[in-house]
Amino acid sequence: MRASVLVTRASFPDIVERLRAHFDVTDNPSDTLWTQDELIERLQGRQAALTAGSDRIDARLLDACPQLKAVCNIGVGYNNVDVAACTARGVLLTNTPDVLTDTTADFGFALMMAAARRITESEHFVREGKWVTTGRFDMLLGADIHGSTLGILGMGRIGQAIARRGALGFGMKVIYHNRTPLAPEIEAQCNACYVDKDALMRESDHLIVVVPYSANSHHAIGAAELKQMKSSATLINIARGGVVDDAALAAVLKEGGIAAAGLDVFEGEPRVHPELLACRNVVLTPHIGSASVATRRAMARLCVDNLIAAMGVGPDAGRPPTPVNPEVLGELRAPA
């Protein structure tokens, strides 16, 4: 009997077709955002789900969907999934690491440059016709990127790719803070220097946050940390909403405690804190860090590779390429 699969968000049609070659597939071409109850209802009787960051997969859902064996999440981050709850029930979780590293690092850089050089603010200025009437030699002055100090909070694959761009491409001094320092040879490849968190906050001209979200990283950048930053500094969050305290950030941006921010992720997204929407010195983007054509296709492809292999089909049957909890392989939940 063919397994039954739910694709929770709209995806590339050919990728969904690939799934249809093996499984009975229900997808969501209109990209409706389902509540958890709606998701549970649609998952009844299904063995696998291709999910996204907006789907909350926890013990309640897993208990209500006893036939679900594999959750294949599109994205490297999986803070929307309770991994321990999956593992305890023999449900496999997969993610999509590596294929998005460089695209996301490029985007972090783009956001940093846009915020530091006031690009969106300048665009509004031109569109509002203000250049014509108030163009001055000292208008829209920003901060230099080249030769400045780049701080990175979280030094995984994306953090390292950002460090290489900063050091090699822009002659930046790179400092970072991470739970554990990198091995000396990796540190040398990245031209990056480990510092404690206080030094990171105080010394960075531009600080990029790339730490995964967890209870430990919740509000890792809050009012106290923002207070430590230079008033000329830029803060960029491409990690997850909730790592930065958005309300505290809006207050600091408003009073000039730091110069600018660039945010791709938000606490409670897709909602954005109204005080942030009211700040002129923040560049806002809708969680598009990995959104290049090639990378989103590569992520979708890897996610489907994982799902097909997890369901015991194809040349890699039983060996999904990027499992998060490989310990459940071989003893996946038996059909209820």
| Antiparallel, parallel or unpaired: β 4-7 and 70-73 | unpaired
Enter the DSSP assignment of 42.
Answer: H
Q: One of 165, 240, 296, 333 is an active-site residue; which one?
A: 240
- Rule CB under 6 A: is residue 52 a binding residue for ligand 8YV? yes
In the complex, minimum distance from the CB of residue 254 to ligand 8YV, in angstroms, rounded to a whole number: 27
Order of strands across the sheet that contains 70-73: 24-26, 4-7, 48-51, 70-73, 92-94
Compare residues 35 and 134 and give the one whose CB is closer to ligand 8YV: 35
Rounded Cα gap, residues 314 and 20, in angstroms: 13
**Which of 39, 61, 91, 100 is in the footprint of ligand 8YV by CB under 6 A?**
100
What residues between 282 and 321 interact with ligand 8YV by CB under 6 A?
289-290
Compare residues 75 and 154 and give the one whose CB is closer to ligand 8YV: 75
- Rule CB under 6 A: is residue 192 a binding residue for ligand 8YV? no
Q: Applying CB under 6 A, which part among 74-82, 124-132, 181-189, 269-277 lies near ligand 8YV? A: 74-82
- Rule CB under 6 A: is residue 53 a binding residue for ligand 8YV? yes
**What residues form DSSP beta bridges with 7?**
50
Specify whether the CB–CB gap between 217 and 211 falls below 8 A.
Answer: yes
Rounded Cα gap, residues 177 and 248, in angstroms: 21
Look at the alpha carbons of 20, 22, 27, 29 in this order and tell me if their dihedral is positive or negative: negative
- Rule CB under 6 A: is residue 76 a binding residue for ligand 8YV? yes
Report how far apart the first and last C-alpha atoms of the chain are (Å, whole number): 15
- Rule CB under 6 A: is residue 112 a binding residue for ligand 8YV? no
Whether 287 sits among the annotated catalytic residues: the reply is yes
**Which of 6, 50, 70, 74 is in the footprint of ligand 8YV by CB under 6 A?**
74
**Which of 75, 108, 151, 257 is in the footprint of ligand 8YV by CB under 6 A?**
75
In the complex, minimum distance from the CB of residue 75 to ligand 8YV, in angstroms, rounded to a whole number: 3
Q: One of 165, 287, 296, 333 is an active-site residue; which one?
A: 287
Q: Applying CB under 6 A, which part among 14-22, 69-77, 108-116, 141-149 lies near ligand 8YV? A: 69-77
- Rule CB under 6 A: is residue 28 a binding residue for ligand 8YV? no
Compare residues 160 and 290 and give the one whose CB is closer to ligand 8YV: 290
DSSP string, 64-113: H-TT--EEEESSS--TTB-HHHHHHTT-EEE---STTHHHHHHHHHHHHH
Specify whether the CB–CB gap between 10 and 28 falls below 8 A.
Answer: yes
**What residues form DSSP beta bridges with 145?**
none
Compare residues 120 and 290 and give the one whose CB is closer to ligand 8YV: 290
The residues, any chain, with a CB within 8 Å of residue 206's CB and separated by 6 or more, are 112, 116, 143, 145, 148, 149, 150, 151, 233, 234, 236
Catalytic residues: 240, 269, 287
> What is the contact surface with ligand 8YV in residues (CB under 6 A)?
52-53, 74-77, 100, 289-290
